Structure 1
Amino acid sequence: MTASQTELQRIVAALQNSGLTVEPVEDGALIQHGGTRVALFAERDHQGGVIVRLHLDLDLYVEEDSLPDILMGMNLLNQGLDYGALNLDPVENDDEDEDDEAPTTFAVLGRSVLWLPELSAAELDRLREHLTRFEVEITEAVERTLHGSKGMSA
């Protein structure tokens, strides 16, 4: 068992003990929070401590030709976020029959990184608080934008 697995297992156990629904997966964990699932990955920092990465798939996709408007809107949204940021990731096209000239599609994701100097109870509580605030902040920012009058259009 690698050190990262041990740290991940300690984080998973602490989050489960705090009442969250956590499902270990290959190299991380999925945390059910309300109607969303946040992916959590942990790795030992070579300078000490643990780096925790959080990913929130928003099930939002944009086409390449919409990027200028979307990037401007995401930049404005990111300026108001404290616990994470919105990013775009290209979606792999699994259909080999597709035209190579087809526009690329991007998934909109919420991401956050938190460094824990140690896995003490206080730091694990800080992680839980960060995780909760990250999920709420990203979800609310996107919902406000999509349902507001000046929404992002994709």
Structure 2
Amino acid sequence: MTVSQTELQRIMRALEDSGLTVEAVEDGALVQDGETRLALFAEPDPAGGVVVRLHLDLDLFVEEDALPDILMGMNLMNQGLDYGALNLDPVEDEDADDDSPLTFAVLGRAVLWLRDLGPDELARLREHLRRFEAEVTEAVERTLHGSKGMSA
């Protein structure tokens, strides 16, 4: 099931009207606020409403041998996040041989259910986007630049 173009366009238009730069991509949208770019994907909820998924690429990469320490640190950071979570996604490297360690990208992810696409729910989406980006960015920067920095 996919959200109709009209629904995605309504979400994009509402975000643009609130001052964000929004660009359509294959199956969603890229939302830019200053230096930050979020990927936004929407799909209908079978029970009604729309499920919006947000992905924030943090440009952080972790090699396989550092995973135990990173996972422990990410778990602690996720406990303090209210608007999303940090996840690891494997990075596909076509040039790497089979013996090369895997590399993972650190991503911020969030999911928000919208009752409908009315003005109140679209304003709630905009606020969620703002808080999600700020919270994830602050948590990562605090960890990377703090006295107990996450080593990758």
Which TM class, normalised by the smaller chain length? over 0.9
RMSD: 0.9
Number of corresponding residues: 151
2 CA distance for matches of 1:22 and 1:47?
28
Instruction: Name 2:142's counterpart in structure 1.
Output: 144
Counterpart pick for 1:101 among 99, 102, 108: 99
Tell me, yes or no, if structure 1 residue 18 matches structure 2 residue 13: no
Contact map agreement 1:43 1:50 (CA 8 A) in 2: yes
Counterpart of 1:138 in structure 2: which amino acid? V
1:1-154 maps to which residues of 2 (within 5 A)? 3-95=3-95, 98-154=96-152
Using the size of structure 1 for normalisation, the TM-score is: 0.95
Using the size of structure 2 for normalisation, the TM-score is: 0.96
Deviations 1:25-74 (A, max 9, x none): 11111111121100000111111100000000000000000000000000
Contact map agreement 1:8 1:28 (CA 8 A) in 2: yes
Contact map agreement 1:7 1:43 (CA 8 A) in 2: no
Q: Which runs of 5+ in 1 are unaligned?
A: none
Q: CA deviation at 1:3?
A: 4.0
1 CA distance for matches of 2:138 and 2:35?
13
Q: Secondary structure at the match of 2:4?
A: helix
2 CA distance for matches of 1:88 and 1:3?
27
* Identical residues among aligned pairs (%): 78
Contact map agreement 1:4 1:42 (CA 8 A) in 2: no
